[in-house]
Structure 1
Amino acid sequence: MRTRVRLDTAERVTTVRLDAPPLNAFDTEMRRELAEAARLIADDSAVRAVVLYGGERCFAAGADIRQLAAFGFEEIAGWNRAMQETVTAFAQLPIPVVAAITGYALGGGMELALAADFRIAAQDAVLGLPEVLLGIMPGSGGTQRLARLVGPSRAKELMMTGRRIAAAEAAELGIVNRLAEDPYAAALEFAGALAQGPRFALQAIKEAVDQGIDSPLADGLALERSLIAGLFATADRDAGMASFLRHGPGKASFGDPA
């Protein structure tokens, strides 16, 4: 059976390469391989950052519509739960995740990109959640993650019209962090820089933001206090502060390079 998802690790950065051309459609096998990829990365403490990439021509154009068209209520309920959990597994990785977007990132493809912490897109990339044009709705986190990025009104407008947007507009809306001629190279460079940083501090920042954003302010501040106190027990804190006192900012080397 052909592998639809490939993993490549170098310099503590793992690329999750979607490899089901031409559109990297999300069928059951793709979903299973993505779930396994997320599990393998979560279990590998040597991986410090992740890049999601669909190749030079297309990030991912969404679900396999032929498969979805054959589903009834019982089939889609189970399939969608599994797909939602798979996308969420990438969002919950305790390390930075960067999506390198080329070509189309539509439907489930955009939802996977939204699960990343950062998105870098090609100038000619196209993004959208067009499920409404099929008489359905986004079901792999799009309604929740997009609204948190751009606000409820703009998210509803994009999802209720199914409108596709160019990368430049996505950047203006805050969906894309930046544009690049070669988004994969840019994503690898950015992820590589993050991978050199203090592992537990990066994890704590991600946890504080992701968990605190939907909490009352007092709860978010309590989480922040707990996380920063814990960081004072890490070797990276010792290295960072000792280096600052000796050499000034930006000189520390963090973590085991193995």
Structure 2
Amino acid sequence: MSEFKNLKLDVENEVAVLTISRPAALNALNSETLDELNVALTEIEARDDVKVVILTGGPDKKGNEFKSFVAGADIAEMVNFSAAEARTFGMKASVPFFKLMNMRQVTIAAVNGFALGGGCEISMACDIRIASDNAIFGQPECGLGIIPGFGGTQRLARLVGMGRAKEMIFTCDNIKADEAYRIGLVNKVVAPEELMATAKAMAAKIVSKGSYAVSIAKAAINNGYDMDIKNAVEMEANLFGVTCSTHDKKEGMTAFLEKRAADLTDF
């Protein structure tokens, strides 16, 4: 694996923990970090020994590990952007964000502390979001004279509905973890000290299932979401057929009939 300045990567038991670590900037996303994320996710996707990726934020410069997931995009870098430079920056972010969304591995955001602007946006690019109860979500961009540029106007509306997304983006109001759970922005809220253990327990449960089937299910959900229902169901039937031609299908169903644990190995 490559060496990174702003990321840390640990792999254990088929789960990769990818930590964004810019302690002096509360893990804000600059161009260098986005490039590193793209490299890291590309390398992880190619690994058969990684089935789930947990994305989280590292501690601040005082060692407070619950201060910030990702505080946003790096305003110090953006302040003098031209229109063309801003567009380039947004498109640069879209590359690793789409990798989180579409890579064959399941991606879980373990959100600790601030998830504002680009932090909220990168969490929404993941398949699942688990938040500590001190997490804060928001899209404050309009208060800075801009709009969300890392997918916020699109992913937020798809997750929580157009009305709530407009309210959050137009008012720039932050919301706490319990409200994020109530509106469907996060899947689960836990105490800060339980965040990583909860994320790893969920990852282990996902790893124990048919990893190839999970990756196909992820593709079916993503690709069918914006299709009309007739074509989406036809696509699902085609992918169902693909999974029925695998070792895991034979092993999984045989194990069920024999009342034993299945040994699922495809990926």
Which of 49, 54, 57 aligns to 1:54? It is: 57
- Mapped to 1, the partners of 2:87 and 2:190 lie a distance apart of 38
Output aligned runs, 1:1-150, within 5 Å.
3-22=5-24, 23-55=26-58, 56-57=65-66, 58-150=68-160
Report the counterpart of residue 154 of structure 1 in structure 2. 164
Report the counterpart of residue 222 of structure 2 in structure 1. 210
1:185 is paired with a residue whose SS is helix
Report the counterpart of residue 165 of structure 1 in structure 2. 175
- Mapped to 2, the partners of 1:256 and 1:12 lie a distance apart of 13
- Mapped to 2, the partners of 1:253 and 1:140 lie a distance apart of 40
Shift of 1:220: 0.5
Q: Given that residues 84 and 139 in structure 1 are in contact (C-alpha distance below 8 angstroms), is that contact kept between their aligned partners in structure 2?
A: no
- Mapped to 2, the partners of 1:161 and 1:84 lie a distance apart of 24
- Mapped to 2, the partners of 1:54 and 1:124 lie a distance apart of 14
Report the counterpart of residue 62 of structure 2 in structure 1. none
**If the length of structure 1 is used for normalisation, what is the TM-score?**
0.95
Closer/same/farther in 2, CA of residues 223 and 100 from structure 1, 3 Å limit: same
Shift of 1:200: 1.5
Shift of 1:2: 6.9
Shift of 1:141: 1.4
**Per-residue displacement from partner, 1:157-197 (whole Å, max 9, x unpaired)?**
11111110000000000111011122111111111211121
Report the counterpart of residue 258 of structure 2 in structure 1. 246
Q: Given that residues 24 and 59 in structure 1 are in contact (C-alpha distance below 8 angstroms), is that contact kept between their aligned partners in structure 2?
A: yes
Amino acid at match of 2:85: E
**Per-residue displacement from partner, 1:62-112 (whole Å, max 9, x unpaired)?**
111011011101211212111112211111111211110111001111111
Amino acid at match of 1:198: G
Q: Given that residues 101 and 125 in structure 2 are in contact (C-alpha distance below 8 angstroms), is that contact kept between their aligned partners in structure 1?
A: yes
Q: Given that residues 4 and 20 in structure 1 are in contact (C-alpha distance below 8 angstroms), is that contact kept between their aligned partners in structure 2?
A: yes
Closer/same/farther in 2, CA of residues 2 and 221 from structure 1, 3 Å limit: closer
- Mapped to 2, the partners of 1:130 and 1:118 lie a distance apart of 22
**If the length of structure 2 is used for normalisation, what is the TM-score?**
0.92
Report the counterpart of residue 223 of structure 1 in structure 2. 235
Q: Given that residues 243 and 252 in structure 1 are in contact (C-alpha distance below 8 angstroms), is that contact kept between their aligned partners in structure 2?
A: yes
CA RMSD of aligned residues (A): 1.5
**Where do 5+ consecutive residues of structure 2 fail to align?**
59-64
What is the aligned length? 255
- Mapped to 2, the partners of 1:210 and 1:225 lie a distance apart of 15
% same residue: 35
**Per-residue displacement from partner, 1:192-240 (whole Å, max 9, x unpaired)?**
2111210111011111111111101111001100110000111111111
Shift of 1:253: 2.5
1:59 is paired with a residue whose SS is strand
Is 2:200 aligned against 1:200? no
